[in-house]
Structure 1
Amino acid sequence: MLRRNFIKLSATGFAAVMYSRLTYATGSGASLINHPDEAWAQVGDQWVKLTGKGGSVFTYRDIKAEVKNSGNAQAVYIQSPAAELQAIKFKWKYQTSTYPKVLGDHWERTYGDMAWKPPGEVVRNPWYVLLHDDKQTACFGVKTGCSTLCWWGVKPDGIELVMDTRSGGVGVKLGQRTLHAADIVTGMSKAGQTPYATLTDFCKVMCTKPRLPKQPVYGINDWYVVYGKNSYQTISDQTAAMAELVTDTNNRPFSVIDDGWQHADDFSIVNDKFKDMHKMADEIKSHGMLPGLWTRPLIARKDDSKSLLAPQIPGRSQQGDELILDPTIPENLARVKRNITLYKQWGYNMVKHDYSSWDIFGRWGMQMKDSFTAPGWKFQDQTKTNAEIINTLYHTIREAAGDMYIIGCNTMSHLSAGVFELNRIGDDTSGKEWPRTKKMGVNTLGFRLPQNKAFYAADGDCVGLTKDVAWDKNKQWLLLLAESGSPLFISAELDILDAEKKTAIKQAFTNAAKVQPNGEPLDWLINPFPEKWSLNGREISFNWD
């Protein structure tokens, strides 16, 4: 350990150790990242170096990046009145080679690829990055709700933060306004603290005002049973059968209707399989459950005016004949608001909205390794960054929802925090094959559970209880979700529910209905699919293979 790289923090009782090259302590003991050693701007796909003035202001022509102290953070403000700005990059000189393990986050959902990795293996670490040397864990991140899409790079001689300011696939036109790009925060493990506990604490630093459910959320979702081939009757049957296994009447479970209820591409009209969504909500309530509804806010109707549509994104796969609404057009946001309000009027207590990141960027999070989207295209309004456009959409949904719970799925994680009560933190599990549930469920929960109750209620997706998935595996996945402190949703084929499965579901519902501490994966430093867990003070070993 190089002694000059560390400094003791004062005051707060943490007695934590911070990077002296990168951080310092204020009188209150809060840690702040030092001013960057270098600053760069990306314009016209080229990086140009900014000139530093006083360590906190960096300029190139009329482009300006300024760093200001803001409580426990360093606030970054950007100006670019003429140039179409694509990004700002900060660099700090620091030897990182002594830290063999690095952990970043994902842009939206995870895709079974979360793990502690060597520093050079991951080029972009979305939102935050942790460095660990088997003794201490250092954290670097940005606060949630920022106005740029931020990622960290770990180099042998330094750490970088890139704040992407693109609008669509081109640079943003800021004009005369100043963009509050991000708030940089740092953290360091306490003496004897595990990396898991350190990340949990750091999530609370990044998100100071999470919007959380009033009670733990649990229940059922029909997707992994029928995969969209649902109806009024299938929902009624599943709700009635599963309601018999509920024990806590003070915290009622949800019955979430997934894709398949809507009329074609219009999410304000019900199809003939359901006929009346208000009546459907009442039917669910009659069985003692709370109704929830899936929607896709940015899908356009085939008869929509072309002036309302987002551009066709070059090279976008799987687009087919889908038409997408441009989220920068006020008329489209008004439609999103009307639809969410309509679901509330129908009597639904929860709305799950999906596909917005795909619809905006034309890429899934796992495809955003080099860039978020194809270059060269733009929305109707180029004066807002992609992060600002997403924030506006999310807040439109939030405002319309009122006291309804909102689950974001395929939503930008860091921008969902503090806005939605729940967030689907991983890609789909499965009611058809166990390996997919292991990949997308176990991995996701192991590496994103620190965000649970700090950003939102972190939904690891469903237990697909079907004849196609081995019960000995699903039984373990059910137990983990039910006792992890995260939301629990079950998709169950009713005709396979024997006495053993019903007993297990009943116990899982009982556990999931009450407040529990977050589970902790004990082997996550070496195992991408943690098998050893601490749940409610006891250690449990799972066999996922």
Structure 2
Amino acid sequence: MDYLDVRRVPDAVTVQLEDSWVSLLQHGEERWQQQGIEVLTEFREGQQAISLSAPGMAVLRVALRWRQPVSSRLRFLGDHWDRGYGDLEWRGLVPERLLPWYFLTFNGQETHGYGVKTGARAICFWQVDASGVTLWLDVRNGGAGVELGERVLPVAEIVSREGRSGESAFQAARAFCSQLCERPVLPKQPVYGSNNWYYAYGNSSHREILADTKLLAELAPNQENRPYMVIDDGWQLCSLSSYNGGPWRQGNYLFPDMGRLAGEMREMGVRPGIWMRPLLTLEKVPAEWILKVEHRSQNNVGLVLDPSQPAVLEHVQEDICCLHDWGFELIKHDFSTYDLFGRWGFQMGAQLTEPGWHFADRSRTSAEIILSFYRAIAEASADSVIIGCNTIGHLSAGLFELQRTGDDTSGREWERTRFMGINTLAFRMPQHNTFFAADADCVGLTNQIPWELNQRWLDLLARSGTPLFVSAAPDAVGPAQREALIQAFTLAAQERIPAEPLDWLDTTCPASWQLDGQTTQYDWYEANGVRLY
């Protein structure tokens, strides 16, 4: 059966302080203590709740270890810190491999799941070796230890699921993700439409957005579920080639009246959407609002705000309220994981960020501060749909309706779309409608991408049941493209059975998919094979 039993009390609990490691001693069934540190491993309704107290100390991590033989025949699938980077895959036993948040095992017949529930107060990852399983609970505050004082921290809740006879690995993964997130927040209707980024790349205007809106309205026949037209980066007051932050309460000279633009878009029959980067600004703000580290903004332009400060959260909420009050019905917020940690997800590793720095409020973990930040955005959005991009899915689940689950696709290089988009669609599909609506990113419909490849990507997204966004360059939309887009938007506007990647156990780029009960094969490769981009 090969089930790894993490439902039982761990065999060892270790705590990492800023200057030492402390091995805790077990007292009774669920209590671990040493040097004033206490960890509780309490069983509640089939899950194990972990809590930590460490008065007067700065704690970095807690490690729980279950010793047991692990079969070499197992294959493993993990998640990612934030979004996928084309690197999600089933693999054999790799002891040093980090498995963020949860992992699945497959023995050829059953698929078992192990993880922490969404909304944890730590940033968590697993490791599995031939001798057992380790769960790391990163409770740091930035790159330094958290100072809890007298507070008891509810760190995480551990959940596992034994696979069932007859279910596929994909079905087991979806069922397990449903256990990890008990109360997802989902959009009221399927989300689809256009986003101007992958053909405009920031070069746009009020007039050009209205032209995009007109085209979208013509191509989307469903009158009960109208599409979204999302204005991406380039509209804001300080939009430069080297800077894409705020302020966010005024457009630039090409976007003179954002409220009027949203109204005109709505009159044309689409739902207005907009992009923003909430934690980067050129505004003159109080010094205590600024994150006191050197590695933050790209090209060292702009100030990164510290969301551990209540005044900063109020400021971000006012920005979100402004976008909502202009009339934008979808708000996409971006870059916050990079702005906070100074690294992209594929660079984070076990360290997550540079050591030594901390938020202004050292009494809370990074995960707690991020949760408060996400919650503030969700509350301020009112009835606007929120999509997080470069956000941490395991912390945004239950707060945001949509999540961009992978790194950028492209309107310039097909290979980037193949590598990033198809991988994240397949391997984050278990989270679709169990955590949030999972957006694998856009179809970059331009003359630089072969239409026959984009047509396949468009077809898969439209039939997958996930959000569909298309960046359609006006000069790339001929009769064939118009017909395909009308069909795709018609499909995407309706509720669909989530697509299942049938060959995901054997490849990082699934070609065989079950769509609406039928098997469909796709060829994802250019005539000369994989290109470097």
TM range (shorter): over 0.9
Aligned to 1:60: 34
| Partner residue, 1:526 | 506
C-alpha separation in 2, matches of 1:115 and 1:329: 38
Report SS of the residue matched to 1:92.
strand
- Seen in structure 2, the aligned counterparts of structure 1 residues 492 and 393 have a Cα distance that, compared at 3 Å, is same
Of 374, 379, 389, 2:359 maps to 379
Looking at structure 2, the residues matched to 306 and 481 of structure 1 have their Cα atoms a distance apart, in angstroms, of 45
- How far is the alpha carbon of 1:544 from its aligned partner? 0.6
Measure, in 1, the Cα distance between the counterparts of 2:395 and 2:494: 27
In the TM superposition, residue 304 of structure 1 has moved relative to its aligned partner by 2.6
- Structure 1 runs of 4+ off > 4 angstroms? none
Of residues 393, 402, 426, the one that matches 1:446 is 426
Deviations 1:306-332 (A, max 9, x none): 322101245x68442231011111111
Q: 8 Å contact 2:72–2:93 — kept in the other structure?
A: no
Structure 1: gaps of 5 or more residues = 6-17, 24-32
Among candidates 226, 235, 256, match of residue 230 of structure 2? 256
- Among 276, 301, 307, the alignment partner of 1:295 is 276
Equivalent residue in structure 2 for 1:348, among 328, 344, 355: 328
Contact 2:102 2:116 in 1 (8 A): yes
Equivalent residue for 1:212, pick from 168, 186, 203: 186
- 1:245: which partner in 2? 219
Deviation (angstroms), 1:362: 0.5
State the alpha-carbon separation in 2 of the partners of residues 313 and 244 from structure 1: 48
- The one-letter amino acid paired with 2:125 is W
Equivalenced residues, count: 518
Q: CA–CA distance in 2 between the matches of 1:340 and 1:212? A: 19
How far, CA to CA, are the matches of 1:100 and 1:175 in structure 2?
A: 42
Tell me which moved more, 508-517 or 363-372: 363-372
Distance, in Å, in 2 between the alignment partners of 1:164 and 1:136 is 30
Match of 1:307 in 2: 288
In the aligned structure 2, how far is the partner of 1:391 from the partner of 1:101? 32
Per-residue Cα deviation, 1:505-529 (whole angstroms, up to 9, x for no partner): 0000000000001100110001100
What pairs up with 1:288-437 in 2 under 5 angstroms?
288-314=269-295, 318-437=298-417
3-state DSSP class of the match of 1:64? strand
Q: 1:484 aligns with which of 437, 460, 464?
A: 464
**5+ unaligned residues in a row in structure 2: which ranges?**
239-245, 526-533
Alpha carbons 1:300, 1:309 under 8 Å: kept: no
Deviation at 1:45, TM superposition (A): 4.9
Secondary structure of 1:35's partner?
Answer: coil
Change in CA separation of 1:481 and 1:368 when aligned onto 2, cut-off 3 Å: same
- Cross-structure match for 2:243: none
Tell me if the contact between 1:173 and 1:383 (Cα under 8 Å) persists in the aligned partners: yes
Output the CA distance in 2 between the equivalents of 1:121 and 1:185.
Answer: 21
Aligned to 2:531: none
AA partner of residue 458 (structure 1): A
Q: Secondary structure of 1:102's partner?
A: strand
* Alpha carbons of structure 1 residues 296 and 317: separation in structure 2 relative to 1, 3 Å: closer
SS of 2:325's partner is helix
Structure 1 CA distance for aligned equivalents of residues 485 and 26 of structure 2? 61
- The answer to whether the 8 Å contact 1:99/1:131 transfers is no
- DSSP-derived class of the 1:270 partner: coil
Q: How does the TM-score come out when normalised to structure 1?
A: 0.93
Distance 1:174 1:489, change over 3 A: same
Question: 1:176-187 alignment to 2 at 5 Å?
Answer: 176-187=150-161
**1:299, distance to aligned residue in structure 2 (A):** 0.9
Structure 1 range deviating more: 362-371 or 459-468: 362-371
AA in 2 matched with 1:110:
G
Q: Could you say which residue in structure 2 is the equivalent of 1:47? A: 21
Amino acid at match of 2:126: W
Aligned pair partner of 1:107 in 59, 81, 88: 81
Question: Does structure 1 retain, via aligned residues, the 8 Å contact 2:40–2:52?
Answer: yes
Match of 2:72 among 86, 98, 120: 98
CA contact (8 A) 1:407 1:424 kept: yes
Q: Distance in 2 between matches of 1:396 and 1:342?
A: 14
Q: Is 1:200 paired with 2:174?
A: yes
Shift of residue 92, structure 1, vs aligned partner: 0.5
Distance in 1 of aligned mates of 2:351 and 2:174: 28
Matched, 1:75 2:49: yes
**Which piece of structure 1 moves more, 438-447 or 131-140?**
131-140
Partner Cα separation in structure 2 for residue 72 and residue 273 of structure 1: 57
Shift of the 497–139 alpha-carbon distance from structure 1 to 2, 3 Å rule, reads same
Q: How does the TM-score come out when normalised to structure 2?
A: 0.95
Deviation at 1:56, TM superposition (A): 1.2
